[in-house]
Amino acid sequence: MIERSLNVLSIGLELRLDQHNILPFPIAGIILAAGAASRMGQPKLLLPWKGEALIRHAARTALIAGLNPVIVVTGAGAVEIQTALAGLSIQLVHNPDWKTGQSTSVRSGIQVLCSQPGNRAAPPRVGTGTIPQQTAVAVLEPALSQAVIFLLGDQPFVSPELIQALANTYVQTRPTILAPFVGEKRTNPVLFDRSIFEALCQLQGDAGARSIFTQYPPTPMPWPDERLLFDVDTPEDYRKLIG
């Protein structure tokens, strides 16, 4: 099954769960976790995988990769999501309008990064108790972020290596938008330069950040692991993941 197909990469991730990397530029991570998971029939981000909820796995991956701050946008099941993230050095932002489309969650997250230092009320933050003392890092002021990577909580095969590759490619080439491509297929997570944060703040509807791809075509970054195309949307997907 999917989990067993490329064990070398998944083992590499587990070996690094107590490490935190430092990226060359402050790059934030926003994890969109506000949906109702109607196709799953239950809160999919709370489903267990490798001993933890999918949303916790996503948040830890972002932290390990060096994204800072890591912001999780909640909507449906906000209390349960917060509980699943207890002890991680992340920031929680609740989107009360999550039912009206993904763009509202994108805006909720990006507006934190658009705020100016010293003029922003700090979002509620889950504690830092489970980060080992020797690897704990200070949470950066969101307004210092030079770029943001949007992640989805239902992509279990997003790795720290992928996130770091996006960050390093961004530093070298400074694209407006950078997206991984597996063959000809664009997938998530996607990096956005700070120059278009305001455009993201103007999004409408359920297309999310994809709606500005016509105006700002993503620069492709090839990625060899086909598992990146996999996400957990249905009970069948979850059975494939854990089978």
CB 148, CB 29: distance < 8 Å: yes
Q: Which of 151, 83, 140 is nearest to 115 (CA)?
A: 140
Q: What pLDDT does 133 receive?
A: 27
What domains lie within the chain, and their CATH numbers? Answer: 2-205+217-242 (3.90.550.10)
CA dihedral 227, 237, 107, 159 (to 10 degrees): -30
Q: Which of 107, 76, 54, 98 is nearest to 233 (CA)?
A: 54
Its pTM stands at 0.82
CA distance 197 to 147: 9
* pLDDT string in tens for the chain (243-residue length): 444 333 222 223 333 344 557 776 789 999 999 988 888 988 899 999 999 999 999 999 999 999 999 999 999 999 999 999 999 999 999 999 998 888 899 999 999 998 644 333 333 333 333 322 223 446 666 668 999 999 999 999 999 999 999 999 999 999 999 999 999 999 999 999 999 999 998 887 666 787 899 999 999 999 999 999 999 999 999 999 998
CA distances, 144 to each of 43, 83, 160, 170 (Å): 33, 28, 22, 16
115: helix, strand or coil? coil
Structure tokens that stand for 132 in this block: 């080992």
